Amino acid sequence: MGAHGPIPKRSEERRRRNKDDGPELIQAPAGSPEDLPGLPDPDPLWHPIATDWYLSLRESGQAAFYEPSDWAVARYAAHVMSQVLQSERGPNGQLVAALNSVMSSLLTTEGDRRRARMELERKKPAGAKLASVSPLDSYRDIAGG
């Protein structure tokens, strides 16, 4: 269980769809939004993990909802993350917890997005089909059931 209660299931995993769970669910396509003009590049002095995290936000579906202030928070989080990762003393527990809180406010994990009632719709592979049940049917016919 997380700090804000259990992570809700994805909408297609829920059994009851008639119960009003609160605010309406927001769905957005997964993957990078088409127009992200003027985003600052990562600082070349950042730790590689911080740079990867920052760049991954650009390719994430929730970036479609980010405002310039959100990108400023993301840069700040990447800067702090870089300082923590490059520190000779190692990570400070309070600093890591604060950093996780900032990352959570940016909806960087699926659990954070579900709590905010946002789902990213993953693209299905082109040739994806449901499994055939004919082998089960033929087994049932042989078994006489």
pLDDT tens digit string along 67-120? 888 999 999 999 999 999 998 887 888 888 999 999 988 888 888 887 877 777
Contacts of 9 (CB under 8 A, 6+ apart): 114
Please give the pLDDT value at position 33: 57
Q: Is residue 114 part of a domain?
A: yes
Residue 140 lies inside a defined structural domain of this protein: no
Q: Is residue 107 part of a domain?
A: yes
Amino acid at 120: L
Instruction: Residue 95: give the domain boundaries.
Output: 37-125
The answer to whether position 83 is within a domain reads yes
How many domains would you assign to the chain? 1
pLDDT in tens, 53-73: 999 998 888 888 888 889 999
Residue 61 included in any domain: yes
For residue 1, the model assigns a pLDDT of 43
Which of 48 and 8 is assigned the larger pLDDT?
48
Residue 4 has pLDDT above 70, yes or no: no
Backbone angles phi, psi at 58, to 5 degrees: -65, -30
What pTM was computed for the model? 0.62
How many residues are present in the chain? 145
**Averaging pLDDT over each range in 6-10, 12-16, 83-87, which range is the top one?**
83-87
